[in-house]
Structure 1
Amino acid sequence: MKQAQSSSASAQPEKLRRALTTPLLTLYGLGVTVGAGIYVLVGTTAAEAGPYAPVSFLIAAIVVAFTAFSYAELSTRYPVSAGEAAYVEAGFRSGKLATVVGLAVALSGMVSAAAVAIGAASYLHGLIAAPHALLTIAVVTVMGLIALWGITQSVMVAAIITLIEIGGLIFVSVWGFGFSDPLGLDFVDMIPPLTGPHWIGIGAASLLAFFAFVGFEDMANVAEEVKDPVATMPKAIVLTLIIASILYIATTTAVLVAVPIDTLANSAAPLSLVFASAPVAIQQSFAIIAIVATVNGVLIQMIMASRVLYGLADRGHLPAVLATVSHRTQTPVVATLAVVCVIILLTLALPIDALAERTSQIVLFVFVLVNVALIRLKLRREKEKDHFKVPMIVPVFGVLTSVLLFGTAWL
C-alpha cells in the first residue's frame, strides 16, 4: 500500500514551491520596478517634459496606484501564476481572451527584459572591450541560468541586487542635493503652471515615466509561490509602489538640480552626470551599481514571463510542455528557456527606446482589461471567500487613468 501511495505521489506533476514572504516579495517587486527605467530614461523624460520631469513621474505613479489596488484584490482572489490571465478569464468568462492577455503580459516582460539587457550591455561596454551583441547575449544567458536555479535562490539574488540599486538611487539623491554643484534648476522651476502647452510634453513624458513603474504587476505572477498570499500580496504591492514613487521623484529632482537640463536630455546614462565632478573612484563605483541595476531587471522580468507561460500551459491554454517543472529546482525549465531565447532575439532586433514604448503600451492595454474584469466580478456580487477588497471606484479610475495615459502616445 505504501509503495502504491509512493508511486502515485511520484506520478503527480511537480508544482511550484510557496516560499516568498512579505520582505522577499517586496524586494522582488522593487527589483523589477526599480532599475533600467529610472537609470536609463530620466534623460529622455527630461527631453519631453523639460523641467517638469518629476511631475511626469508623479502622474505615472497616480495611474499605477489605482491599478495596483485592483491587483491587490485580484491577486488575493486568485493567487496563481499567470495572474492577469486568470483575472480576465474569471471576469469575462473567456478562455481565449485570457490567453491573449497572458501572452501580452509575457510579451511585455520579455520586451522589457530586452530593453534592460541592451542598457546593461551598454554600461558593460564601457568596462569590457567586447562586441555589444555578445555582451547582451551573455547578460541574458547568465540571468537565465540564475532563473533556472530556483525561485528562492533567484529571488534572493535579485533581492540583494535590489538593495544595491536602491542604495544607488539614494546615493544619487544625496550627492545631487548635498555635494554636487547646483548647475541645474531651482525647485520652483519644476512646478508647472496649471494651463499651457507644456502639459502635452508632460503627458508624453509620463508614458516614458510609466515604464519605470512597470513591474509591480509582475508580483501577481509569482502569487502561486507566496506564503499566505491574502495577507502578503496587498502589503507587498503597496510597499513597492510607495517606495518606488519616493525614490523616483527624489532622484529625478536631484538630477535636475545638479545637471543642466540640455546636457541631461542628451544623455544615455543620465544619473552618472550627477557625479561629473566627483572623484574617479566614486564615478566608477556608481557605474558598477548602474550595471547591477540593469542586470537585475533582466532576471526578474525573466522570472515573471516564464511563470506566465507556465501558468497558461498549466491551465491548458498553451502546449503542456511549457508547464514542465524541474523535479530538482521546482522551476518551469522549458518556459524559462523559451523566454531566454525570445529575449535574445528581441535584443538583436529592436532599439531600447522602441522596446520601452512598446512595453508601456502593452502593459496599459492589460491594465484596462484587468480593471474591467474586477468591475465585472464586483457587479456579479457572487459569494466570495475571504480576500482583500477595494471600493468599486478604484477599478473604474484604473480604467480611466490607463486609457488617458495610453492616449498620450498619439498627442
Structure 2
Amino acid sequence: MERERKGLSVWQLAMLALGTVVGGSFFLGSSVAIRAAGPSVLLAYVIGGILVYFILTALSEMTVANPASGSFRTYTEQAFGRGAGFTVGWVYWTGLVLAMSSEATAASILLRGWFPRLSLPLLGAVIIALVTLLNLLGAERLGKLESGLAAIKLFAIAAFVVLAICLITGIGAGSFPAAGGQGGGTAAGYSVLRGEPWLPGGIGGIAGSMLMVMFTYAGFEVLGLAASETRDPAATIPKAIRLTIVLLIGLYLAAITALFLLIPSSLVSEEISPFVSALTLHGLGWTGTVMNMVLVTAILSTMLASVFGLGRMLRSLADEGHTPAWMRDRTDIPYRGILVSGGAMLAALGLGLLLPQGVYLFLVSSGGFSLLFVYVVIMASHYRLRKRHGGPFTRQHGMRGFPYTSWLSIGGLIAIIASMPLIPGQGGGLAAGMMFVLLFAGLYVVGRRQRKPSKILPKALRPLPAVRPAAPGYAQAEMSEELTEDKKRE
C-alpha cells in the first residue's frame, strides 16, 4: 500500500511530459517551420511557449482543484455538458491513436535501416506491442523508464548546443572527427546570420510556421492525465509544470538559436533533420547515425507517454458511461484502457497498409487538429468554470491576466487552426479533424436516447478533500457526492 501511495514525483511528471512533447516533430519537423519563417521562427517559438504557459497554467488550476483521471475531458464535461465531454474525449483519443500509429511507422523505417530483412509491418507491430506492454507495469515504473528515455533526448539537444558553442568559439577545433572532408573553413557564428533575411516570409511566414511550432510543443497535456497518479497534486502538479516549461522553452530556444549560428535557413532541407544538416556542414557527418538513434529513442518515448495518456482517457470515458461497460477498470492501472488503445493502434497501422496513402495521411493529419482543438477547449472550459466559480479555484493565485490572457490564448489557437489550409498537406488534417468532431457529436446525440440517465456532473469546481481516493478514477465521483451532500444541507 505504501508503494502505491508514493505516486509520481515532480521530476517523473516533468519527464513524462517532456517524453511526450520532445519527439520527431522537433528533431525532424522543425525544418518545416524554419523554411517557412527563417530566423524569425525564434519569435514563433516564443509565442508558442507563451501559449503553452497559459494553457498549462489553466490546466494546473483546474487539476489542483480536481485531480480527476479524465483531466481536461472531465473539466469540459463540467463546463459544457456530457455531450462536449464525450466528443472531446473521443476526438483526442482517436487523433492520438492515429498519430501514434504513424510514429510507429516512422520508427520502423529508421530501424529497418539497421535490420533490412525485417518487414515494416512486423517492426511496427512489435513497437506498438512493446510500448503497450510496458504501460501495463504501472505509472511508477513507467515514470522511471520514461525519465531515462526523456533524459536521452534532452541530453541530445544539450549536446548539440554545446557542440555549436565549440564550433562558434573555436574551442576544441580539430578535435571532432570529420566526415568526407566536409566543413573545411565553413563559418560559424553571427556571420552566418549577417546576410540572412530575418523575415523572409514576412508576418505570413511566422503565421505559417506556428502550426508546426505548436506541434513541437504538443503533448504536455499528459500532465493533467497523470495528476491522479500523484500523492499530492496541489504541490506536485504546479512544480512539475514550472519545471516542464523552463526545460522545454529553454532548450528549444537554445537549440534553434545555435542552429541559426551554424547553418543558413536556405540550406535547411525538409527531408533531413536540420541538426544533422548543420553539423554535417561543419564536418560532423557521423552525427547522422547518432541522430537516428536519438530519433528512435524520441519516438519510443513519445509513444510510451502517449499510451499512458490514452489509457487514462479511455478509463475516464468508461467511468462516465461513454464506453461499453466491459471497458471499465477497477484497478489503479487501467489495463483495459491500455490494451484497447494498443489494439486500436495496431488496427490503425493495418489501415495504413490497406488504405490508399492519400486517404490514410488524411486521417493521420487529424491528430494535429485534435491536439489544437483540445487546447482551445481547455482554455474555454477554464474560462467558463472560473467565471461560474467567481474566482480562482484554489487559494493560490490563478492564471495571471485573466480573462484577457484567456481571450488572447483562445484567439491565437483558433488563428493557428484556421491557418492549416494555408500549409500544403494540412488542409486535409483540418477537414479530417472536423469530420471526427461532427462524427462523435452525432454519435452522442444518437446514443443518448438509448442510454440510461446517469449522474449529472457538478456545475462548478471545488477543491477535493486532502485524502487521496482509493483508485484514481473515482476523484470526480467523490466530488459529486460531496457537492450533493452540501446541497442537501442547504
Shared fold, TM over 0.5: yes
5+ residue gaps in structure 1? 1-15
Which deviations, in whole Å up to 9, do the C-alpha atoms of 1:192-221 show, x marking residues without a partner?
45xx85221221211011111111111101
Aligned partner of 2:238 in structure 1 is 234
Letter in 1 for 2:327: L
Aligned partner of 1:296 in structure 2 is 301
Q: Does 1:405 align with 2:411?
A: no
Match among 304, 313, 316 for residue 311 of structure 1:
316
| Cα distance in 1, alignment partners of residues 67 and 108 from structure 2 | 35
Which deviations, in whole Å up to 9, do the C-alpha atoms of 1:292-311 show, x marking residues without a partner?
11210011011101110011
| Cα distance in 1, alignment partners of residues 109 and 274 from structure 2 | 13
| Cα distance in 1, alignment partners of residues 65 and 196 from structure 2 | 41
Distance change >3 Å, CA 244–CA 355, structure 1 → 2: farther
Match among 76, 87, 111 for residue 124 of structure 1:
111
Distance change >3 Å, CA 287–CA 116, structure 1 → 2: same
Write out aligned runs for 1:119-268 (5 A): 119-129=106-116, 130-179=118-167, 181-182=186-187, 186-187=192-193, 192-193=198-199, 197-268=201-272
Q: Matched residue of 2:261: which SS?
A: helix
Letter in 2 for 1:342: A
Distance change >3 Å, CA 202–CA 115, structure 1 → 2: farther
5+ residue gaps in structure 2? 168-182, 423-490
Distance change >3 Å, CA 52–CA 323, structure 1 → 2: same
| Cα distance in 2, alignment partners of residues 293 and 319 from structure 1 | 34
Maintained 8 Å contact 2:104/2:124: yes
User: CA offset at residue 190 of structure 1?
Assistant: 6.7
Aligned partner of 2:13 in structure 1 is 25
| Cα distance in 2, alignment partners of residues 253 and 218 from structure 1 | 28
| Cα distance in 2, alignment partners of residues 297 and 281 from structure 1 | 25
Distance change >3 Å, CA 102–CA 367, structure 1 → 2: same
Distance change >3 Å, CA 235–CA 297, structure 1 → 2: same
User: CA offset at residue 355 of structure 1?
Assistant: 7.0
Query: What is the Cα-based RMSD across aligned positions, in Å?
Result: 2.8
Which deviations, in whole Å up to 9, do the C-alpha atoms of 1:112-133 show, x marking residues without a partner?
3234323322322222212233
| Cα distance in 2, alignment partners of residues 125 and 25 from structure 1 | 32
| Cα distance in 1, alignment partners of residues 380 and 321 from structure 2 | 24
The number of aligned residues is 390
Maintained 8 Å contact 1:207/1:405: yes
Match among 52, 63, 76 for residue 75 of structure 1:
63
Distance change >3 Å, CA 279–CA 41, structure 1 → 2: closer
Maintained 8 Å contact 2:23/2:216: yes
Q: Does 1:98 align with 2:85?
A: yes
Task: Give TM-score, length-normalised by structure 1.
Answer: 0.86
| Cα distance in 2, alignment partners of residues 81 and 217 from structure 1 | 12
Task: Give TM-score, length-normalised by structure 2.
Answer: 0.73
| Cα distance in 2, alignment partners of residues 363 and 59 from structure 1 | 17
Q: Does 1:45 align with 2:33?
A: yes
Maintained 8 Å contact 1:60/1:207: no
* Structure with a larger share of its residues in helix: 1
| Cα distance in 2, alignment partners of residues 369 and 55 from structure 1 | 25
Aligned partner of 1:390 in structure 2 is 399
Maintained 8 Å contact 1:121/1:135: yes
Q: Does 1:110 align with 2:110?
A: no
| Cα distance in 2, alignment partners of residues 201 and 176 from structure 1 | 26
Maintained 8 Å contact 2:42/2:256: yes
Identity %: 21
> Structure 1 residues 213-222 or 173-182, which shifts more?
173-182
| Cα distance in 2, alignment partners of residues 255 and 274 from structure 1 | 7
Maintained 8 Å contact 1:176/1:274: no
Aligned partner of 1:358 in structure 2 is 366
Aligned partner of 2:327 in structure 1 is 322
Aligned partner of 1:8 in structure 2 is none
